[in-house]
Amino acid sequence: MRSLGTRRVTLAAGVATVAVIALAGCSAGQVAETAMLKTPISGLNTQSPDGSLQIRNLQVIYNDPDGYPANGQAPIELALFNHTTTEMTVLISSKPLQDEIAGVVSAQQVGLSGGSVASAAPSAAPSAGASSAPSEPAAPALQPARITIPALGSASYLPEDDTKLIATGLSDELVPGHSLSLVFEVSGQSQPIELTAPFGIPLSPASRAPGETGENHE
């Protein structure tokens, strides 16, 4: 027969064991919840002065470490949210930079691809002796980046979408670490919103090819 002191020690040990198990369960739940959190986005988040327009995840889509060449074009990722009960129009452009700013690039045009493009008139049959080499396809025509957002609605342009938001005629090379100058003109607001879209970051680190400079060779 156990003494009263022995039973108290056994009871205390049991309570401590249950507490440890409970704490372990809570800890496991916290780890699982943390694991489900998504990686923070790398784009710019801002809004109009009155909060009627929210701009989310604005960034130049990452392509590779070389970026986009001068006079080339670069796709833009963006989400717009209309927080008013009336329809809103947003016109996106790029203002040429009067003062040289290191790392900030402008564009001749910002437009939307994937819109309807008028078909070209059929060309005449090639004359005898003419070269039959196919000509290079023309770049897709861009529509003005005039975006209509319904009341309490949204509009987004993602890398996988058919319609893309593109900046063309870059004033300089646009590489990681640089940014793109953009202007947002919102209907009903007199002052445009001037922003710089950062260059996106890759989802995974770039692979290092064997034999790169700086590696030691046996």
Selected residue with higher pLDDT from 203 and 145: 145
Residue 29 pLDDT: 41
Question: Residue 160 pLDDT more than 80?
Answer: yes
Q: b/e per residue, 25-34, with b = 16+ CB within 10 A?
A: eeeeeeeeee
- Cβ proximity of 54 and 31 under 8 Å: no
Range name among 42-51, 74-83, 98-107, 209-218 with the lowest pLDDT average: 209-218
Residue 27 pLDDT: 42
| pLDDT, tens digit, 9 for 90 and up, residues 29-71 | 443 333 333 445 679 999 999 999 999 999 999 999 999 999 9
Token output for 172? 């300089």
SS3 of 73-84: the string is: EEEEEEEEEECC
**pTM > 0.75: yes or no:** no
Question: Residue 28 pLDDT more than 80?
Answer: no
CB atoms within 10 A of CB 49: 10
Residue 154 pLDDT: 98
Polymer length of the chain: 218
Q: What is the mean pLDDT of residues 104-125?
A: 66
| pLDDT, tens digit, 9 for 90 and up, residues 74-91 | 999 999 999 999 999 999
Residue 82 pLDDT: 98
Domain extents for the chain? 44-114+141-198
Strand partners, 18: none
Selected residue with higher pLDDT from 91 and 22: 91
Residue 116 pLDDT: 38
Q: How high is the mean pLDDT of the chain?
A: 76
Give me the percent of the chain exceeding a pLDDT of 70. 61
Residue range 44-114+141-198, CATH number: 2.60.40.1890
Question: Residue 73 pLDDT more than 70?
Answer: yes
Q: What is the mean pLDDT of residues 152-160?
A: 97
Closest CA to 104 of 190, 183, 164: 183
